[in-house]
Amino acid sequence: MKPYSMHNQVAVVTGAGRGIGFAISRTLLNHGAKVALLDYHLPQVEEVALLLDKSGENVIPLKVDVSEQKQVENAIGKIKETWGRIDAIVNNAGVHELIPLLELTDLQFERMLGINLLGTYHCTQTVLPTMVSQGGGSVVAISSVAGVLGSKIGAAHYSASKGAIIPFIRSIAREMGPSGIRANCIAPGLISTPMTAGFGEFEIDAYTKGIPLARIGKPEDIADAAVFLCSNASRYVTGQVLSVCGGALMA
Ligand SMILES: NC(=O)c1ccc[n+]([C@@H]2O[C@H](COP(=O)([O-])OP(=O)(O)OC[C@H]3O[C@@H](n4cnc5c(N)ncnc54)[C@H](O)[C@@H]3O)[C@@H](O)[C@H]2O)c1
């Protein structure tokens, strides 16, 4: 089998309805995977499923709020019922908002952690027993450059949620490595998606001028990195943070 092939593999992508999650799902399918598309906007993810695979044989759209453990369990149960296995999960679902630190409330902070961090924990913990029984699997989580550097634009809670994902994923790498399970993060820089559509031209221009590759990222830039980490191409890679950010972060 070619190293980047996902043939005969089942992958789960959260937040698959648009942006980076959509691109990751499409790229995994193009590499031969069957893909479960999870998102809390069902019509959006059903549309994506139809667009990606009219036959419906290689995709399952599922309505899931990743912050709700029961919904995650039901979805993972359906995927196992349908395809019998899970080889990779990409924890991509996430939210972002800008609120100055001095105005931030506990509720806003908790909501952010509930989706970005707890959601990653729910989905990953739920698929791990399946991966253990299969003798291995790959866990990927979408962190962020902001999760390493912090934020000066009113996203302290977002940065905290993305930063905490890193030691969580590294703990999975350490604890589950002997069971053949690998776990890695991707730290995207600024990527052009609906999430960042509200960012001003001036801010984007200033940002891109400050990074070595001098352009904003595309969802496909992240998708190719995700396929690397899901597939056998990265068989000796675990516990890493792969920064896909045009050189904004070098560590
Ligand atoms: N776009 C960027 O510049 C950037 C940079 C760094 C990291 N990221 C991260 O990449 C991931 C994808 O970002 P994007 O730009 O594609 O965002 P997006 O807003 O365009 O898409 C996010 C998707 O996640 C889904 N989602 C949100 N909350 C959910 C929940 N509770 N349960 C299930 N689905 C949920 C949304 O419905 C949406 O389809 C996020 O985790 C984000 O934090 C994005």
Three-state secondary structure along 45-97?
HHHHHHHHCCCCCCEEEEECCCCCHHHHHHHHHHHHHHHCCCCEEEECCCCCC
The CA 168 to ligand 1 mean position distance, Å, reads 19
> Helix (H) and strand (E) counts for the chain?
9, 7
Average per-residue pLDDT for the chain: 97
Domain parsing of the chain, residue ranges? 10-241
What is the rounded end-to-end Cα distance, in angstroms, of the chain? 32
CB-based pocket (< 6 A), ligand 1 = 14-15, 17-21, 39-41, 64-67, 92-96, 115, 119, 142, 144, 188, 190-191, 193-196
* CA pair distance 142, 78, nearest whole angstrom: 24
Q: What is the pTM of this model?
A: 0.98
The CA 93 to ligand 1 mean position distance, Å, reads 5
* CA pair distance 62, 40, nearest whole angstrom: 8
Confidence label for 251 from pLDDT (cuts 50, 70 and 90): confident
Give residue 1's pLDDT: 79
pLDDT digits (tens, 9 = 90+) for 131-148: 999 999 999 999 999 999
**Residue 236 CA to chain centroid, in angstroms?**
20
The CA 178 to ligand 1 mean position distance, Å, reads 31
Give the residue among 215, 191, 218, 115 at the shortest CA–CA distance from 157: 115
Classify residue 5 as left (phi > 0), alpha (psi -120 to 50) or beta: beta
* CA pair distance 187, 146, nearest whole angstrom: 8
**Which atom in ligand 1 lies closest to the alpha carbon of residue 19?**
16
Select from 39, 90, 123 the residue to mutate for testing ligand 1; criterion: most ligand atoms less than 8 Å from CB: 39
Q: Which residues are catalytic?
A: 158
190, 192, 195, 196 alpha-carbon torsion, rounded to 10°: 60
Give the H/E segment covering residue 229.
helix 219-230
pLDDT digits (tens, 9 = 90+) for 84-132: 999 999 999 999 999 999 999 999 999 999 999 999 999 999 999 999 9
Confidence label for 236 from pLDDT (cuts 50, 70 and 90): very high
Give residue 15's pLDDT: 98
State mean pLDDT over 52-61. Answer: 97
The CA 21 to ligand 1 mean position distance, Å, reads 7
**Which atom in ligand 1 lies closest to the alpha carbon of residue 158?**
43
Q: Which residues of 40-72 are buried (b: 16+ CB within 10 A; e: fewer)?
A: beeebbbebbeebbeeeebbbbbbbbbbebebb
Confidence label for 214 from pLDDT (cuts 50, 70 and 90): very high
Q: Which fold has domain 10-241?
A: Rossmann fold (3.40.50)
pLDDT digits (tens, 9 = 90+) for 69-86: 999 999 999 999 999 999
